[in-house]
Structure 1
């Protein structure tokens, strides 16, 4: 019986009328540079430059997402530090991070995620599962997923949304 079931499953997988769902979690980055709320903004700037990234998630000790800090947040702090004559090392991430963080579901289809990127004008979305940060999807990750579909009929791979 196990062999019959297996052959049946293979036949279903080859059926081209079935949509191929490319899930966000299959293309997300799981090795992330994260920041802590108590870190200095100067440390963040050093990491952004060192790792050639434009921002990153802020997590607590339980790996729960509590914010995002970006180059823009650091630039704003730099501008204000000059005005108020306060060095970067005295300002903490928790004071500068964005706390209203929009996340994306790891089970979301990459085409739906592409639309979400276009509507939100964001460059990346964190992915949270069971309250913990498990990854991040970027616009570049979505483009990589699209390359895997090269040569396939995209109309048969997208699901209809109403």
Structure 2
């Protein structure tokens, strides 16, 4: 699955000359928390988000007076930038210009990693220098809901097949348990073996639960396999 499969193509954008108040209103009424800023030719200039509008003088959310020693170590450039963010009237002055972008062929897994690593909620999708879509965290969640395959029922998978799938899911993992410690009876997976930590135990359980046809998973850690 790639960006082109899940991206939003009905894009709401802002212009650099749009007022901050107009931009805020657009986001509120459209139910979005950010939008690309583009010029008349459709070229991406930046992003305007809720985070860019958090500290504003009009509503009393500007950065409060800092301790005198912090004022001394803060550079003139930093203080000037802070003032502009709090008082500027145009989007061009408050938008974020260091924007991460992706292409339509970007794999969904890479997008999720990018959003987490950059601590951002959305990323513009580019084609020939222009924005053709936006992928947000909500797009990823919708993909999970609409495209996750259904798990086959136990009737479609015998106990042997279920056991092999459970073992395959754990293969190569440092927390995997030995083959002989996985027993399946009538679709119920029994996990045996030595005492394991909570996280390792959860990983083993989840691997078993995701195997097609599993009815239930019962852990017996700390006990020898049943004879």
**What TM-score do you get using the length of structure 2 for normalisation?**
0.51
Pick one of 122, 134, 137 that aligns with 1:136.
134
- Which residue is 1:125 aligned to? 123
Aligned to 1:106: 104
Q: TM-score scaled to structure 1, two decimals?
A: 0.70
Taking the aligned partners of 1:120 and 1:75, their CA distance within structure 2 comes to: 19
Distance, in Å, in 1 between the alignment partners of 2:53 and 2:30 is 15
Assess, with a 3 A threshold, how the Cα gap between structure 1 residues 44 and 89 changes in structure 2: closer, same or farther: farther
Q: Distance in 2 between matches of 1:152 and 1:137?
A: 27
Is the 8 Å Cα contact of residues 125 and 131 (structure 2) preserved in structure 1? yes
Deviation at 1:131, TM superposition (A): 0.5
Where structure 1 has 5 or more consecutive residues not aligned to the other structure, the ranges are 1-21, 154-162
Asked whether the equivalents of residues 56 and 87 of structure 2 are also in contact (C-alpha less than 8 Å), the reply is: no
- Whether 1:24 aligns to 2:24 is no
**CA RMSD, 1 decimal:** 2.6
Structure 1 partner of 2:149: 150
Structure number, greater radius of gyration: 2
SS in 2 for 1:76: coil
For CA contacts below 8 A with separation 6 or more, give which structure has more relative contact order.
Answer: 1
Take 1:110 and 1:71, find their aligned partners in 2: how far apart are those partners? 24
SS in 2 for 1:140: helix
For residue 122 of structure 1, report the CA deviation from its aligned partner: 1.1
